[in-house]
């Protein structure tokens, strides 16, 4: 049997880094089933050409034909564009990829990485402010804009279960619940309480070894920068998790290193945490390592541990050796040169 992988580079540097991840997967040979790549469209460029940011065909092929997928990055405009909606947010919803799992760790203090960072941000991926129910009205005092923030017990419970599961499998077994329920006591309060209750729902006491801490989101960012070693697994509602993972990326030198998977009960999609990086697109210097690590996370999630390990070891070696790195990590190499270095180690 082959491994069918949907490939959605989308926009900007997604088109540079996803092909690199593809090449790294191909280099794994018999450690994984024969990969079969299926190119799929989504993104701003697709929208400008076809009027649709996420073609139905892309969703159908992912659902019906693919075992997993790799997503690059989209360039979403900062202003409202009629008919446009971010395809990554939509894909996460369509495929019910409710957990966004983002490991952030340093392998090399020499490469500008804070030595004590080894954490996983577990971000709820389907609700919070990202339900995108916004409206603007005209009042006598000018415009007024509102957004709905949705937190449900169901989504908080399942992300809580994933977070406890991940914490339990790690050596430190420590979980921090991120919220702001001192201000948002109803929405964040529900998230906090629901996640807290998760261990009591498992009759066999399997999470007994996990210690639980809480941190308000603002001071969590502060403590993340001052004493990142206090964090092991962090579980957060969608928006806080988005912000926290970019902040954590700064501690390990670059967004170009940080991978993620969007995981549901039936599907997994690897995706670098970074965006389409318009400031460097086309220069050939985007860092492909986050995408290669995302491919590794995706393979690991599917149970292809050996292939995943090989990708991770190769990336870690390239970072540690620090002779072939892109400019975001103070190197002078190109995307292609970094890929070649990874392939050589594979
Ligand atoms: P960004 O993540 O694209 O870039 C932030 C900074 O990090 C830039 O200086 C960029 O050059 C650098 N950077 C990011 N990835 C890099 C890599 N692989 N190698 C080297 N340097 C890298 O965030 P920004 O600039 O806020 O957003 C740009 C666009 O990306 C926006 O249209 C935004 O909507 C979109 N975006 C899409 C995401 C997605 O598809 N999941 C996630 C975040 C942003
Ligand atoms: Mg983000």
**ipTM of predicted complex:** 0.98
- Token readout for 32 is 């994984």
pLDDT of residue 280: 98
Q: Does residue 294's CB lie within 6 angstroms of at least one atom of ligand 1?
A: no
pLDDT of residue 110: 67
114-120 contacts at long range (C-beta below 8 A, 24 or more positions apart): 114/228, 114/251, 114/252, 116/227, 116/228, 116/229, 117/228, 117/229, 117/248, 117/251, 117/252, 118/229, 118/232, 119/228, 119/231, 119/232, 119/233, 119/234, 119/248, 120/166, 120/170, 120/232, 120/233, 120/234
Q: Does residue 73's CB lie within 6 angstroms of at least one atom of ligand 1?
A: yes
pLDDT of residue 115: 76
Q: Whose CA is nearest to atom 10 of ligand 1?
A: 277
Q: List strands edge to edge, sheet with 35-39.
A: 35-39, 3-10, 68-73, 268-270, 261-263, 99-105, 118-124, 233-236, 174-179, 211-216
The domains located in the chain, with CATH, are 1-97+260-346 (3.40.718.10), 114-251 (3.40.718.10)
Alpha-carbon span 294 to 271, nearest angstrom: 6
pTM above the 0.90 mark?
Answer: yes
pLDDT digits (tens, 9 = 90+) for 160-198: 999 999 999 999 999 999 999 999 999 999 999 999 999
Q: Does residue 335's CB lie within 6 angstroms of at least one atom of ligand 1?
A: no
What separation in Å is there between the alpha carbon of 274 and the centre of ligand 1?
5
What separation in Å is there between the alpha carbon of 131 and the centre of ligand 1?
21
Q: Which atom of ligand 1 is nearest to the CA of 288?
A: 18
Q: Does residue 13's CB lie within 6 angstroms of at least one atom of ligand 1?
A: yes
pLDDT digits (tens, 9 = 90+) for 64-115: 999 999 999 999 999 999 999 999 999 999 999 999 999 999 988 766 777 7
Q: Which of 254, 242, 237 has the alpha carbon at shortest distance from 191?
A: 237
Q: Does residue 275's CB lie within 6 angstroms of at least one atom of ligand 1?
A: yes
Mean pLDDT for each 10-residue chunk of the chain (346 residues)? 97 98 98 98 97 97 98 95 94 95 89 83 97 95 97 98 97 98 98 97 92 98 95 98 94 94 97 97 98 98 98 97 95 98 97
Q: Whose CA is nearest to atom 34 of ligand 1?
A: 76
Q: Does residue 286's CB lie within 6 angstroms of at least one atom of ligand 1?
A: yes
Q: Whose CA is nearest to atom 41 of ligand 1?
A: 73
Q: Whose CA is nearest to atom 37 of ligand 1?
A: 275
């Amino acid at each position: 049997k082959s491994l069918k992988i949907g490939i959605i580079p989308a926009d900007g540097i997604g088109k540079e880094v996803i092909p690199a991840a593809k090449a790294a997967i191909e280099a794994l040979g018999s450690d994984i089933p024969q990969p079969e790549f299926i190119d799929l469209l989504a993104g701003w460029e697709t929208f400008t050409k076809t009027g649709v940011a996420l073609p139905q065909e892309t969703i159908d092929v992912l659902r019906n034909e693919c075992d997993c997928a790799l997503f690059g990055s989209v360039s979403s405009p900062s202003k409202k564009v009629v008919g446009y909606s971010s395809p990554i947010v939509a894909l996460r919803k369509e495929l019910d990829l409710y957990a966004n799992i983002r490991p952030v760790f340093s392998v090399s203090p020499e490469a500008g990485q804070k030595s004590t960072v080894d954490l996983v941000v577990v971000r709820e991926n389907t609700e919070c402010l990202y339900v995108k129910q916004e409206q603007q009205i005209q009042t006598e005092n000018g415009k007024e804009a509102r957004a709905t923030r949705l937190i449900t017990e169901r989504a908080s419970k399942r992300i809580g279960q994933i977070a406890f599961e991940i914490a339990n499998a790690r050596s430190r077994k420590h979980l921090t619940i991120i919220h702001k329920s001192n201000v948002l006591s109803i929405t964040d309060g529900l998230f906090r309480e629901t996640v807290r209750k998760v261990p009591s729902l498992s009759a066999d006491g399997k999470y007994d070894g996990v210690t639980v801490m809480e941190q308000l989101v603002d001071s969590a960012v502060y403590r993340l920068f001052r004493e990142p070693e206090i964090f092991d697994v962090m579980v957060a509602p969608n928006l806080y998790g988005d912000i926290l993972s970019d902040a954590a990326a700064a501690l390990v030198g670059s967004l170009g290193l940080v991978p993620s998977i969007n995981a549901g009960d039936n599907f997994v999609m690897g995706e670098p945490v970074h965006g389409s990086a318009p400031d460097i697109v086309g220069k050939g210097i985007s860092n492909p390592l986050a995408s290669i690590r995302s491919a590794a996370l995706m393979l690991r999630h599917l149970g292809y541990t050996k292939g995943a390990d090989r990708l991770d070891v190769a990336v870690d070696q390239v970072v540690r050796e620090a002779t072939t790195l892109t400019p975001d990590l103070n190197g002078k190499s190109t995307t292609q040169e970094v890929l070649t270095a990874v392939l050589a180690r594979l």
